[in-house]
Each structure stands twice: as structure tokens, then as C-alpha cells.
């Protein structure tokens, strides 16, 4: 139907079906150009400029698994950081089978904020505290590896 109305074939364009076909509609009727979300994020925050002075990058997402490498922001961040020799840690709500594949793509550590068996609702309700504690554990390990004196991180 879109092809007949606009002369543009969008059904096979990667990303055109995302968000319920929003991309296809924007391309067909408004002449939009689809870009990977990670590319937009990295350009918007000027990541290539920020990474120059970084010693470590911590990124994350809700669930890290084999799908993370398919255009998700953490994978894009790791790809850029790898060019500059900056290590990347991924801190996520959960880790699933296949996440270890990320080690081959610039990630040096994969961590979950979940400290033990809890429900998804509990994890969501306590995300801030779980994230803070997990980040402190990561930074303590990082600082110890760099020979820094350990103290409570505030």
C-alpha cells in the first residue's frame, strides 16, 4: 500500500518496522532518513570528544545478552571506546545467555545490579539503590586494580 501511494519500497529497509512501523511511515511520507539510534546518541553527546580523556567507560541497559551487539547503545559505545583503548564495563539490570560474546567486542566486564533472587517488580522498585551499590562495587574493584587507596565512595 505504501509503495503504491509513494513509490517507495520500505518493507525491507532495516529499522523501518521499529516502533510499529513509524520509521517506514516517516520515510515514505516525509522523506525521513533512518539512522541507528546509537549513532544519534553518540553524535548528540559528542562521545568522540569525551572519550579522549576517559580512563574507563561504564554503560548499561536493562538486559544484556547476545542482542546487545545488534545496534544497541552499549555496543556502539564499546566500539568507539575500543578505538581509543578505553576499557568498557556494562552494568545492566540482568545478564542473559550470550552476554559473554560482548567480551570479544571491547567490553572488559559485564555486571548485573541484581544481588540475588528477586522479582522483576522488586528490581524495578529498587533500581536506584541496586544501581548505586553495584556501581560502588565496580569502582572499588577498578580502584584496587589501579593501586588506589580504598575508602567509602560517596
pLDDT at position 8 is 58
Does 19 reside within a domain?
yes
Does 102 reside within a domain?
yes
* Rg of the chain, C-alpha, whole Å: 19
- Give the integer Cα–Cα distance in Å for 124 and 120: 6
Residue 107 has phi, psi (to 5 degrees) of -90, 135
Indicate whether 123 and 60 sit together in one domain.
yes
Nearest CA among 52, 55, 99 for reference residue 80: 52
Does 153 reside within a domain?
no
Indicate whether 119 and 135 sit together in one domain.
yes
pLDDT at position 66 is 86
Q: What is the pTM of this model?
A: 0.75
Indicate whether 116 and 71 sit together in one domain.
yes
- Give the integer Cα–Cα distance in Å for 56 and 50: 11
pLDDT at position 131 is 95
Indicate whether 27 and 45 sit together in one domain.
no
pLDDT at position 122 is 94
Which domain does 121 fall in, by range? 37-145
Half-sphere exposure of 127 (CA within 13 A, CB side): 11
Does 154 reside within a domain?
no
What is the number of structural domains in the chain? 2
Take residue 23 and report the three cell numbers written for it.
520509521
User: pLDDT 10s per residue in the chain (154 long)?
Assistant: 444 455 556 666 666 655 556 777 777 777 777 777 788 889 999 999 999 889 999 999 999 998 898 888 999 999 999 999 999 999 999 999 889 999 999 999 999 999 999 999 999 999 999 999 999 999 999 999 888 776 655 5
pLDDT at position 9 is 64
pLDDT at position 40 is 86
**Cα–Cα separations (whole angstroms), residue 32 to 7, 16, 40, 72:** 15, 11, 14, 21
pLDDT at position 58 is 95
Cα-Cα-Cα-Cα dihedral sign, residues 139, 124, 115, 112? negative
pLDDT at position 17 is 55
Amino acid at each position: 500500500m505504501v509503495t503504491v501511494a509513494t513509490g517507495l519500497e520500505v518493507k525491507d529497509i532495516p529499522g523501518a518496522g521499529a516502533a510499529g512501523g513509524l520509521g517506514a511511515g516517516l520515510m515514505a511520507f516525509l522523506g525521513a532518513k533512518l539512522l541507528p539510534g546509537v549513532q544519534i546518541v553518540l553524535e548528540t553527546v559528542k562521545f568522540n570528544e569525551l572519550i579522549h580523556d576517559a580512563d574507563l567507560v561504564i554503560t548499561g541497559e536493562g538486559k544484556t545478552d547476545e542482542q546487545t551487539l545488534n545496534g544497541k547503545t552499549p555496543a556502539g559505545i564499546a566500539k568507539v571506546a575500543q578505538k581509543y583503548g578505553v576499557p568498557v564495563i556494562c552494568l545492566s539490570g540482568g545478564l542473559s545467555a550470550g552476554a559473554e560474546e560482548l567480551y570479544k567486542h571491547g567490553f572488559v566486564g559485564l555486571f548485573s545490579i541484581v544481588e540475588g533472587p528477586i522479582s522483576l517488580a522488586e528490581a524495578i522498585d529498587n533500581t536506584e539503590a541496586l544501581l548505586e551499590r553495584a556501581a560502588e562495587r565496580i569502582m572499588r574493584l577498578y580502584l584496587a586494580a589501579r593501586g588506589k587507596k580504598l575508602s567509602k565512595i560517596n
